[in-house]
Structure 1
Amino acid sequence: MKISEGPAHVGCFIFFLLPMVSGVQLQVQDKHVVMDNGILQVTLSNPEGIVTGIQFQGIDNLLEVRNAEYDRGYWDLVWSKPGKKGTKGTLDRIEATNFTVIVENEEQVEVSFTRLWNSSLEGQVVPLNIDKRFIMLHGSSGFYTYAIFEHLGEWPAFNIDNIRMAFKLNKDKFHFMSIADNRQRLVPLPDDRLPGRGQVLAYPEAVLLVNPVEPEFKGEVDDKYLYSCKSQDIRVHGWICADPPVGFWQITPSIESRSAGPLKQYLASHVGPTSLALFHSVHYSGADLILRFGHSEPWKKVFGPIFIYLNSLSNEDDPLLLWEDAKQQMIFEVQSWPYDFPASKDFPQSDQRGTLHGRLLVEDRYINMDYIAANGAYVGLAPPGNAGSWQRECKGYQFWARANADGYFYIDHIRTGNYSLYAFVPGFIGDYKYDFNITIIEGSYIDIGDLVYKPPRNGPTLWEIGIPDRYAAEFYVPDPDPKYINKLYVNHTDRYRQYGLWERYAELYPDEDLIYIVNQSDYRKDWFFAQVTRKKDNQTYEGTTWQIKFELDNVNESAVYKLRLALASAHVSVLQVRINDPSTEPPLFSTGQIGKENTIARHGIYGLYWLFNVDVPGALFVKGNNNTIYLTQALSGSPFRGVMYDYIRLEGPPLPPCNSSNNN
């Protein structure tokens, strides 16, 4: 295969010949603005700043020309006034009112579309100044976009549920979607979701394809949530057109402006064909992650830039090479971060940022008398808060790194500001927070030295269920009902990404709930991945009570035992704990109502992390094998109410630590 020798921004598999152009050109028309570098041409509405057209490789428009111009490529948000319940607000497609040229030369064009807020707009649009920027570089097979949001002065309070950049592609061209090496496929047409071709299931996003245009999709379920991804994994995703072979890719070189840390789940690409860049959303977290601003609360944040990358092949080559090339381009963009070309003073370049490094160790004397290297730990800087607050934080920037096998971590390109340092370690429960805030200034290089995390621990492990990694993936995930299937996830590592798995619980346990026997049962086979409600008939549901049966060789009736309940997700649930008597009132422990994450319905395996530490008086236990812990999820009324467990551990009373246990 011949490899082109184009500019660095042009992927190695692009086969089109670059025309002789003098540089980037900008055409300003009455109702449109056109950026053209000879490789592609991008048309934006003037002054609204909506991407109305992308011309590339002989295709007049990669976007959906059947849609109105405002419904092709756009920044939008969902907002509401304070006091509104739930997470449903008003969609604002952010149509700007002023256009400005920021940079215009042969090497670069940067344009700005702004909408300034004033009191005459109160109640009509979100009270923010918004500046949408678009950049085109000479020799680049794509373009960049970012946005600056600002809340000023005596402006009113408001909430935001969702912030994103969306592209709706030409449905006649783009049929193959790729969001990961093992998550790529031909997808149905949007027409297949319409009445007569698609049958809506338990909620509008999930549709059973009963009469699709392409018969191969008949009997499949389409649902955008099937293609959600962790924030840390959404670096490149997009679409392939087979004729001509062209790729449309969205590359996110940094997740610093996304809300809620590296594990937050976001939508990516889905049937439409739609390509999304989400910076903030309440998906898999609910009301806990609504962006809430008070009256006169100052705030400014830069979202992005992201890179929209286009590539192409000769007709003889495998179109999947476009995906391989897009991954290489993603690496180039990540290595180029922070970019040196955005003109806004609100986007700091490399020499205006800072770096922090150190080592994280774990101290758990019931496992090892020596310190344990925090292998694979997530270590991050986020706005000051309590331990674990980063997963609900959404106003500031976050910067994360993974520790190596020896616990060393390196966080670079940190914006100036005041932060807390947080961490969590796979294999150990709980959250770490450094005792002091950290101030990053321009050019700072901070060696914070050795840090020690002491995870929650009162005594030796008597037994445990699961793996403390914040996911429920290790538990039993059933096969989907053959009537509701997505072929992509058959024999797939993400087997939980199937519609209707919650219904399989009642089929497996039609009359009695799950019973788990310590040292006999296998959590991989005998612990259902979610404690859901049981369907009694076609319209009613009931709460469920799971039992953990175990033996105690000795019981110290005067001591206190500790039950650790780590949850991977919760949705409108009340989890109650009782010991050896399922009828005890009140229960020994109750969480109260927790969670609005909707993870069960959205085919996730985790949402927000919850850790509950329950004191259990030894007098409640008995010597021998007649001990039972009853876990009741008490709320009914919906098939989607329930919890996902991450890990459960029962600890005995404190003893002199030893180095004989391998439990976590």
Structure 2
Amino acid sequence: MGWCTRQWGSVGKLLLYLHFLMMMMVSTSYEKSSPPSKVFGKSNSTALFGVQLQVQSSEQVAVIDNGLFRLYLSIPGGDVTGIGYNGIDNLLETLHDDIDRGYWDVVWNWPDKPITFDRVHGATFEVVTETEDLLELSFVRTWNVSVNETYAPMNIDKRYIIRSGISGFYAYGILDRPEGLPDIDMDQVRIVFKLRKDLFHYMAISDERQRIMPMPEDRETGLPLAYPEAVLLTNPTNPDLRGEIDDKYQYSCENKDNIVHGWISGEPPTGFWIITPSNEFRTSGPIKQDLTSHVGPISLSMFVSTHYAGKEVGMKFRDGEPWEKVFGPVLVYLNSDTSEEGVDSLWEDAKKQMAYEVESWPYDFVSFKAFPSSDERGSVAGQLLVADRYLSEEYMWGESAYVGLAPPGEAGSWQRENKGYQFWTRADKIGSFLIEKVRVGDYNLYAWVPGIIGDFKYDVNITIAPGSAIDLGLLVYEPPRQGPTLWEIGIPDRTASEFSVPQPYPTLMNFLYTINNQDKFRQYGLWERYVDLYPESDLVYTIGVSDYRTDWFFAHVTRNAYNLTYTATTWQIIFKLEKVIQSGNYCLQLALASANEAQLQVRFNDPGIDPAHFSTGPIPIGNDNAIARHGIHGLYWLFSIEVPSSHLCSGNNMIFLTQAQAKGPFQGVMYDYIRLEEPPGNLNY
């Protein structure tokens, strides 16, 4: 099979089916030796009747059948113990216990205490709605002081909705902290589904990111690498995967793109998908990254996490603060196909279902009162312009701007916001935008424009009432700017993707990303290539000579000096000034796309001056780990650094950028954009 299976063309798809058949033969003994702990009936192929519920008290299970599939939920725990579909008794992994197949969990801690992994099992069970066309079930865990060392102090209501004619089920949760509960931090809320490893081998996240995946035992026989999630496959079940890297973070995705992902079984052709029709309940805005699906096979619905951001985006509840939030609904969608193009058709069908779910949001069949319908929501419209007098005498369109409503805060606070709801859109070519389906409440309007530094915030609070349609008219963003541009490095797009991303080590590759060159930053171990490319001295970049696409390494990392002893690294920017303007200060606009346990020091023409002319200090709670986790960006940081003319000279000048924290390989920063500005007064037009 070899390389052809990685091209995903027609020949590759044929080979994929041959692979599935081979895997089914291999898994025969698995099925015979591991019967399910409960017997799951096979679903009918068509919906011949409405939604039916059977509560089997003796087995503590609720069985729901809508004629297309069967869903098995533990009572009163509310765990998904089985999914019968397409002639398959159970899509979930029957080798696991019932409570370890489809479940909710919360990661939390008392302030300054170790974290606790809390599997959320309901204590009471209730049928909320039961009609021929729809069934909604509720599984509630109410917190009380007697379990204060075990469960997160909040009330959690897990709900499932099964509809007639829908091949799949909706899941959502209500997390509630009444006033007066004790202080906690909460860093993760998610739903986990563990699928049968004898069936599901093909994973799809996007049109470009889909492939045959390793088996879980391949990780066990592999070679652990620099952190536990990364493993070199040395003796995989599928020999074509030998020598590849498996790492769940290689399949992470930004919120705005994390709408549908899942797995495909080849025999019978069956798809399992998680569809998230709205990001309103996710934390930290549209470009926050998170996990999707990975080896297990496992699919995740991530609601809250600190991935690619650190504790700064984790929830902190203090002084008895009351709080309630609805997470979801998300749809677990099931599909099947008997045609020869099963893989393609299942993925395309999942995308069509995703589009339908997005269009249907907010759902009109959710019974919970705190989930507002369309006519209980509002909208905000306007047009964003950019005023930068050193770029253009005229206003510029806020083309393709990200524009969003989030809880009130400072400019840019949306990327660290975690307790409320956010609503985002993209402006068109002339900066016009419409944000629809917004929950009632008080918001600030935020924006940022690709190609322009900084964050915009509308200076008036916006109150959304039921049915409101607010038109803000023309809005003008004046980005940070002191004077005309002397030179610049990079593109202000909040990522480091435009810089030099090296080729991975030939022995440490994920072949998916040798095909999809756009995502080559997702390869493992790229941080180690810095020392290979700069073995004797650190990076030197000369303005007017160097090219940031080839000469600016994508991450400013530490240097492995000897025997895992790490040292700080100092990069140099060399530039020439014909004459130093004495009438005012210069300004260095320095934007970071990521910071992980870093401290950036900036010096001008004197590499030894102490203290440095400017230092970020240990970047506050900057722990996004994007370097190790192939993220190309974490949180955005912008520093506008005044540079007295006395620091510069006529002729050649040097800027020294030192990443001073150096205890390990993953400390460092990714730059988004650097610009040196003259003192104000000299316009470019």
Instruction: Give the TM bin, normalised by the shorter chain.
Output: over 0.9
Which among 51, 72, 94 is matched to residue 101 of structure 2?
A: 72
Distance in 2, matches of 1:537 and 1:81, equals 39
Aligned to 1:181: 207
Aligned to 2:492: 468
Q: Is the 8 Å Cα contact of residues 558 and 619 (structure 1) preserved in structure 2?
A: no
Aligned to 1:569: 594
Structure 2: segments with no counterpart, 5+ residues = 1-42
Aligned to 1:48: 77
Distance in 1, matches of 2:422 and 2:264, equals 32
Alignment of 1:534-573 (within 5 A): 534-573=559-598
More helix by share: 2
Distance in 2, matches of 1:480 and 1:602, equals 14
Dislocated runs of 4+, deviation >3 Å: 16-20, 315-318
SS at match of 2:353: helix
Distance in 1, matches of 2:339 and 2:451, equals 49
Letter aligned with residue 441 of structure 1: A
Aligned to 1:258: 282
Aligned to 1:528: 553
1:440 aligns with 2:464: yes
Residue deviations 1:67-89 (CA, integer Å, cap 9, x gap):
011110111110100123xxx61
Aligned to 1:238: 262
Distance in 1, matches of 2:434 and 2:596, equals 35
Q: Is the 8 Å Cα contact of residues 421 and 433 (structure 1) preserved in structure 2?
A: yes
1:612 aligns with 2:639: yes
Aligned to 1:389: 413
Alignment of 1:564-603 (within 5 A): 564-594=589-619, 595-603=622-630
Q: Is the 8 Å Cα contact of residues 47 and 68 (structure 2) preserved in structure 1?
A: no
Which among 48, 55, 70 is matched to residue 21 of structure 1?
A: 48
Aligned to 1:9: none
Shift, 1:396, TM fit: 0.2
SS at match of 2:617: strand
Q: Is the 8 Å Cα contact of residues 459 and 655 (structure 1) preserved in structure 2?
A: yes
Alignment of 1:124-203 (within 5 A): 124-194=150-220, 197-203=221-227
Residue deviations 1:546-569 (CA, integer Å, cap 9, x gap):
000001111123420000100000
Shift, 1:19, TM fit: 3.5
Alignment of 1:223-622 (within 5 A): 223-491=247-515, 492-594=517-619, 595-622=622-649
Distance in 1, matches of 2:571 and 2:421, equals 40
Q: Is the 8 Å Cα contact of residues 249 and 630 (structure 2) preserved in structure 1?
A: yes
CA RMSD of aligned residues (A): 1.1
Distance in 2, matches of 1:407 and 1:414, equals 20
1:102 aligns with 2:131: no
Distance in 2, matches of 1:42 and 1:302, equals 23
Letter aligned with residue 546 of structure 1: W
Structure 1: segments with no counterpart, 5+ residues = 1-15, 660-664
Which among 62, 82, 90 is matched to residue 91 of structure 2?
A: 62
Distance in 2, matches of 1:71 and 1:443, equals 43
Distance in 2, matches of 1:19 and 1:287, equals 47
Shift, 1:289, TM fit: 1.1
Distance in 2, matches of 1:345 and 1:167, equals 27
Residue deviations 1:626-653 (CA, integer Å, cap 9, x gap):
2000000011110000000000000001
Distance in 2, matches of 1:476 and 1:135, equals 48
Aligned to 1:633: 659
Shift, 1:18, TM fit: 4.7
Residue deviations 1:106-155 (CA, integer Å, cap 9, x gap):
01000000001112221220011100000000111111000000001321
Distance in 1, matches of 2:46 and 2:567, equals 67
Distance in 2, matches of 1:358 and 1:192, equals 53
Q: State how many pairs are aligned.
A: 638
Q: Is the 8 Å Cα contact of residues 73 and 167 (structure 1) preserved in structure 2?
A: yes
Q: Is the 8 Å Cα contact of residues 405 and 444 (structure 2) preserved in structure 1?
A: yes
Letter aligned with residue 545 of structure 1: T
Q: Is the 8 Å Cα contact of residues 558 and 568 (structure 2) preserved in structure 1?
A: yes
Shift, 1:620, TM fit: 1.3
Residue deviations 1:170-225 (CA, integer Å, cap 9, x gap):
0000000000000000000001111xx11111111111111112111111110100
CA spacing shift, 1:96–1:246, aligned 2, 3 Å: same
Q: Is the 8 Å Cα contact of residues 45 and 86 (structure 2) preserved in structure 1?
A: no
Q: Is the 8 Å Cα contact of residues 557 and 620 (structure 1) preserved in structure 2?
A: no
Residue deviations 1:476-498 (CA, integer Å, cap 9, x gap):
00000112111110142100001
Normalising by structure 1, report the TM-score.
0.95
Q: Is the 8 Å Cα contact of residues 249 and 308 (structure 1) preserved in structure 2?
A: yes
Aligned to 1:3: none
